[in-house]
Structure 1
Amino acid sequence: MKCILIILMSICLFATEDFELITKAYKNGLRPVPSDLESLLLELKLEYKNVSKEKVVLGKKLFFEKELSKNRDISCASCHNFKKGGADGIPTAIGHKGLKNPFHLNTPTVLNTAFSKKLFWNGETDTLKEQAKGPLQAPFEMAITPELAEKRIKEKTPYKELFKYAFGSDKISFEKIVEAIAVYEKTLVTKGRYDKFLTGNENALSSNEKEGLNLFITKGCVGCHNGIGLGGQEIRKFPLTYHHIWSLTTPQRIAQIKRNYFTVLSMLKNKNFNTNEQKIDYIKYSMGFEDFKLMDKGFFHRIVDNQRLKVMTSTACNSCHVNNQTEVKKSIITKIPFPFENKGDFLGSKSKEKYFRVPLLRNIVQTKPYFHNGSVNKLQDAINLMGVHQTRNQLTPKEIDDLVAFFKSVDGEIVEYLK
């Protein structure tokens, strides 16, 4: 009887821990892939007529259509291979006449891009339709013009019928071509054991995979890689190095915290404290516990000196920033290098401030090499670099292995929403 009670208690404890982990995941913005077409359309804010079976059929055919490349030798699928996680498995994208991407950019996965709010490595586009226009026309990718694309598709059967079924008219245009491709790409959604766990199947993940999920949340990865696709929601600075707060909350919240902090600092001038601990307590309660906790963990160190929070010498600001003596206010420049060779000299967004679209992490185990320029071949190395440069975590080998295990559980097959 005693043994049975112990077993029952263990099961209850196990279930409680799983429930708490699932709850923690949802609280941190992680969600499972929609289970059916209706739920998917609701998530994407679309009506069925926008993602009809006819449009998907047409879009799929166009996605694999080599006539849409100038030399008739490559298609969208050439770089977005489903057997390679929706990418191409090489460091630099190769297109028309074997030309390499001039910025040494790595091909992002096409899978689960339906859940992305930012597309391209600099996040310059926010719709799949607009994104599709880029590779088709880029001289180093498919190198075709809208006029030639239309001409080729008009000449090839059975496209007239397919366009009529999809759009109600057999008129073929470049806009309809990219729209159909985008619609098809919206259905390229994958589902793994991780999704089953988030929907209540506690046995879907192993203990290592659950620990990996927990680490993914507690180490701050989820600060950038959130949502259904585990990324793709925004652009973020890379590398961050010691500013851990950027992986924990939003830029707007950070700006608010800094304003709050400097307001409290000005109030300190009229206060008398016997110890630094009293100063810390005053700042903590004046700022509010949550804001102080974020600042303390991710932006400053808790050492008070001369009424200011002083950064420890080992991570002082001037270890990453230097001042030009002639114009101090405008001259704080970063010295933080990329954690690998900066091939292609691509620095993210148009401002050249090292802001990059946060990659999707679904099927990440299949999409090596990693980062925007494909400089890292092993997932373990990529995780280690992200820990050091984005969340200020020196991950142990065991933690890295658990995170890899978690990513394997996220890996999945394409869901057949339209049969």
Structure 2
Amino acid sequence: MKPDVFEAPDYYHLDDLFSEEHLLVRDATRQWVKREISPIIEAYAQKAEFPKQILSGLAEIGAFGPYIPEAYGGAGLDQISYGLIMQEIERGDSGIRSTASVQSSLVMYPILKYGTEEQRQKYLPKLAAGELIGCFGLTEPNHGSNPGGMETKFKEMDDHYLLNGAKLWISNSPFADIAIVWAKNEDGRIHGLIVERGMEGFSTPETHGKWSLRASATGELIFDNVKVPKENLLPGKNGLGAPLGCLDSARYGIAWGAIGAAMDCYDTALRYAKERIQFGKPIAAKQLQQKKLAEMITEITKAQLLTFRLGQLKNEDRATTAQISMAKRNNVDMALKIAREARQILGAMGITGDYSIMRHMMNLESVVTYEGTHDIHLLITGADITGLPAF
């Protein structure tokens, strides 16, 4: 494995806008990725296996619930710090970032916001320490972009709820200790339930044969008359707005993370273009290659500015769902286009595991779809500016 010589582009000197704490958090995460992820990630992606040994390291750098209050085991950081951590982890690999953002935004966040104090005390410290790993069950085999049509249901029994149904495309599910599951009660109202591994009738078969997010564990959640204790219901919020609130937090992290993947592709392509000699000079001296590189750094810079402002709004609790959708859609699309252009600069070498570009490209094909598809996010913006939903 070649040494990780990544240097992050900062064309508009955004570092001047970050606080000292932001820079310390980012740089610590960057060094961890260089030390723990870069040397192993290509091998794990090739064999389609998640490197479980990194879970303790993710916890140590504060990647699990960075913004969760210290009273519950979190780092108590702000939203920009959270974004920077996601950026640096996704620079390493989108699948590893998925594990961290699911744990933070889709498992710890709903327990913090919608759970009881007993649930917070029971689960959050162990989730922050990586002693428990969680997953989030919303998407179903028949319901992706229309989560409100979910068929997973639960009914109230004497001393428990009886849960039946299935969820699909669930990151972390094969090894998760708990699942935040969204299901309809007998009145058709959506509620969140904490389902624990070991509950009878609960299984998590793994999804195989993926060409994308190969170093991430993906699977199903199957509920066959699962008895869920009544104290495992999240009482703080119900209705579709409850899981969508979690997705806002996750999509915000993705908006930052995609920049990391784009930066890695750009840095790799720039370095290669300076070293690759054709027709007696580096290909970086050729107009078409400079066009590609100049457009890449322009789009990365625009995404950085967009996301920094979004982070400020998140810190002020003023970021809207539509603003978060715009950033997620724009930045993932930007990263995917940069990955494709960067691959062309490397030519045939770009498809090999000697470089990270093709892995990023394949990963981003999932990121552009999950947590709201590219088209759905466009319609969210459209509905916001016209007041006329097109769903």
Q: One fold, TM greater than 0.5? A: no
TM-score scaled by length of structure 1:
0.23
Q: In proportion to residue count, which structure has more strand?
A: 2
Higher relative contact order (CA 8 A, sep 6+): 1
Higher-Rg structure is 1
